[in-house]
Amino acid sequence: MRSSARPLAALLAALTLTAGLFAVGPPASAHSDDAVPAGKASDVSLAADTYAWKNVRIDGGGFVPGIVFNRSEKNLAYARTDIGGAYRWDQSGKQWKPLLDWVDWDRWGWSGVVSLASDTAEPDNVYAAVGTYTNSWDPTNGAVLRSSDRGASWRASTLPFKLGGNMPGRGMGERLAVDPNKNSVLYLGAPSGKGLWRSTDSGVTWSQVTAFPNPGNYSQDPTDTSGYGNDNQGITWVTFDERTGSAGSATQDIYVGVADKENTVYRSTDGGATWSRIAGQPTGYLAHKGVLDSSGGYLYLTLSDTGGPYDGGKGRIWRYTTATGAWKDVSPVAEADTYYGFSGLSVDRQQPGTLMATAYSSWWPDTQIFRSTDSGATWTQAWDYSSYPNRTNRFTQDVSSVPWLTWGASPSPPETTPKLGWMTEALEIDPFDSDRMMYGTGATIYGTENLKNWDSGSQFRITPMVKGLEETAVNDLASPPSGAPLLSALGDIGGFRHTDLDAVPDMMFTSPNLTSTTSLDFAEASPGTVVRVGSADAAPHIGFSTDNGANWFQGTEPSGVTGGGTVAAAADGSGFVWSPEGAGVQHTTGYGSSWSAATGIPAGATVESDRKNPKKFYGYLAGTFYLSTDGGATFTARASSGLPTEGNVRFKAVPGTEGDVWLAGGSATGAYGLWHSTDSGATFTKLPGVEQADSVGFGKAAAGASYRTLFVTAKIGGVRGIFRSTDAGAGWTRINDDAHQWGWIGASITGDPRVYGRVYVSTNGRGIMYGDSSDGDGGGTDPGTDPGTDPGDPPAGAACSVTYKVTNQWAGGFQADVTLTNTGSTALDGWRLGWTFPDGQKVTQMWNATSGQDGAKATAANVSWNGRVAPGASAGFGFTASLSGGNGRPAGFALGEEACSVG
């Protein structure tokens, strides 16, 4: 969906931005100042269920271009991803906590984070500059998000231009910075020629710094016409010299990096009033990072001949002495010996003169990390050649916690497995601990806690420090009736067979290794038979398994195949139909030893199989549904009237019932919704009340139900979300909430045929989410209506007290604060508080807890960060609610089956 906008010139002329409020709550549900369309009236039942959501564990899987440590509070750190949101480090669990799961469908681009800034003066404050693409691919403008509770809740200021968290140059930075002396002042470097921007009210409003002279001129590929490669990478970083200010007074010396090979560093010495190019600076390169070591008065630059993060053939490291204006090339190797650019850069705040840098674009044989303890005069490196091709490493590397990082490879020296990394544009030494360092790669975050061993001549230990950070883009999901509960098709790292959803698998799919898997399927009546297709540098683009995905073998392919497309397995595993990129639809009766072209169906059609009749296959393209009854050899056109002719369309057949097909998809400019056929696609009926739908899947039927549970990502009753139906679409229950939206989730959804209510949801950058209903057996009342039904309730001996206070009231509504205190002797490890409203009050919004309500009965359940309440400790939450009459206090509160005293 595209949103309308005022002309950009008019917005730039205004030069100020208004701030919108995001509903408070960790993770927060969000609304910005952009108008949100009013919900349409619907005759669809919209009950609400309480679901517990978790990631299917993969650990990492994508590019981490930025890591930021707060310099005034120990163990406070953040990480940004290019498409998968932002995270805060949890030292107690040594894991990352997601902060942007509230990003909704319409603002999916805000899942891309181009920069992060943590406030030194007030560590509770954190800022994120968000937006995924600067061209038409992203329908919304960028924004600066601000939080005063470490990312638990956010407010937003929407910008009059776009930001590019997944654009070329995204590893440079940080583009967003807080003045360490006067923290109400922030700067933001913009792409696309939009210049330098400043806020003087803690990020609420922003104005362009018109005095800044250079908006940048470098683009990755000026000949690209898509707006991607030819976008001006703009202003790339901002660094303050904190010595030139004092508490409460703005810092005077500010350094700014620009994507301009001849003019890459500028400085202001009067608090940003005027700016000038620094004389004598290096030319012919872009400064990826600019870090100031205040102990020595040095500004260090890591430079590359391109913007990265993939490319870069030459690079240097330069040092600027701020006191004298002298520049010096302090590169660790001669320019002629570089085949990479430099980017990752950090100084040790505990050990003056110590700094580290990365050769981010050294793909082969490995990345390189450099370290100096004398301000760049001399360097050592993480590995050296002993006698080529053999290496001597200063480190040991243990990936046992994320074993797939070896990629199942057996490379010849000088390559190793696992690799030290690639795309290593983020490296940070803990400002409080010289032994701890973290760095981001194209697949994970690595780190060490004994870094000083480097200088003593002994080896330091590198391990993944990525738990909790899930960054895969998911293309397809399958949950067979036996074997592993989940098989996945992923971008970049192929996919996995999960036998335990809460454990990292040993390896991704191999034999063949597909860089991205686009589609997979299993035989419904023989789930050991599995097929997958995807992209690869060369053939094959298809693999088969006869043991439920545990082991694979390569298939042959017809000529002309350039990509995976979609694939379907016959219900009994006797044959397959494949619609690859670059070739027409094909079918085979074996495991791909030979393929024959299907007739009657156009190239590029999406294909699926009937889940009962092994001879039936289906296809769809541009508004026409196709049927084959001879194993995919021939197809005939079936229904076309009223079906979507544009947009993404996904369809699936119901297991165990021949000819039962559900189709979801379309676009806002044409037909869009959910359709059902019970006659193999001869006719389809559009479901009323489902305004939009994008993916559909099936799970175990509810107790007493005669039809499989239906799951959709959809817009129903004016609400975007994930919905469940236990009665073939007659009624719908929303099973996610505003705190769990994950941006764009339209690629795939499937229920679990063995666990009622369980659903697996694809995201585009936050990995695979799975949700479990509190109504675990599928029977009884709707989940969430009875506070005592939650499986996470505390033990029966728990004791509790509650204070309930109305803090504000207005015509038709009120706000209340609730405090739950553990007065028992056992810690609460997860809690759900229930009460009954006496006057028909309805909760409209809740923060610091997840709400549920059925009639007068309301519940509040803990969120991820406040679930554990020690004896004597308290957890608080608040909510707003509507009124239709009186506003009587609840008579009592219950924690599970335990009544709480009320204060």
Which amino acids are annotated catalytic? Answer: 82, 492
Q: Residue 724: name the closest of 686, 770, 758 by CA.
A: 758
Token pair for 255: 């350094």
Token pair for 838: 């006496």
Q: Residue 248: name the closest of 227, 281, 271 by CA.
A: 271
H helices, E strands: number in the chain = 2, 71
**What gap in Å lies between CA 1 and CA 105, rounded to an integer?**
10
Q: Amino acid identity of 876?
A: G
**What gap in Å lies between CA 251 and CA 185, rounded to an integer?**
9
The residues, any chain, with a CB within 8 Å of residue 690's CB and separated by 6 or more, are: 44, 673, 674, 712, 714, 715, 716, 729, 732
Query: 654: which DSSP letter?
Result: P
Token pair for 147: 């939080």
CA distances from 613 to 39, 445, 596, 728, 753 (A): 41, 47, 21, 21, 19
3-class secondary-structure state, position 316: strand
Cβ neighbourhood burial of 757 (10 Å; 0-12, 13-18, 19+): buried
Q: Amino acid identity of 180?
A: P
Q: Residue 595: name the closest of 544, 552, 555, 554 by CA.
A: 555
**What gap in Å lies between CA 649 and CA 563, rounded to an integer?**
19
**What gap in Å lies between CA 390 and CA 415, rounded to an integer?**
9
Query: 418: which DSSP letter?
Result: S
DSSP string, 749-761: EEE-SSSTT-EEE
Query: Is the peptide bond between 27 and the residue preceding it cis, with omega within 30 degrees of 0?
Result: yes
Question: Cα-Cα-Cα-Cα dihedral of 644, 645, 647, 653, to 10°?
Answer: 50
SS3 content of the chain, % helix, strand, coil (to 5): 5, 40, 60
CA distances from 453 to 434, 436, 456, 651 (A): 10, 11, 5, 56
3-class secondary-structure state, position 875: strand
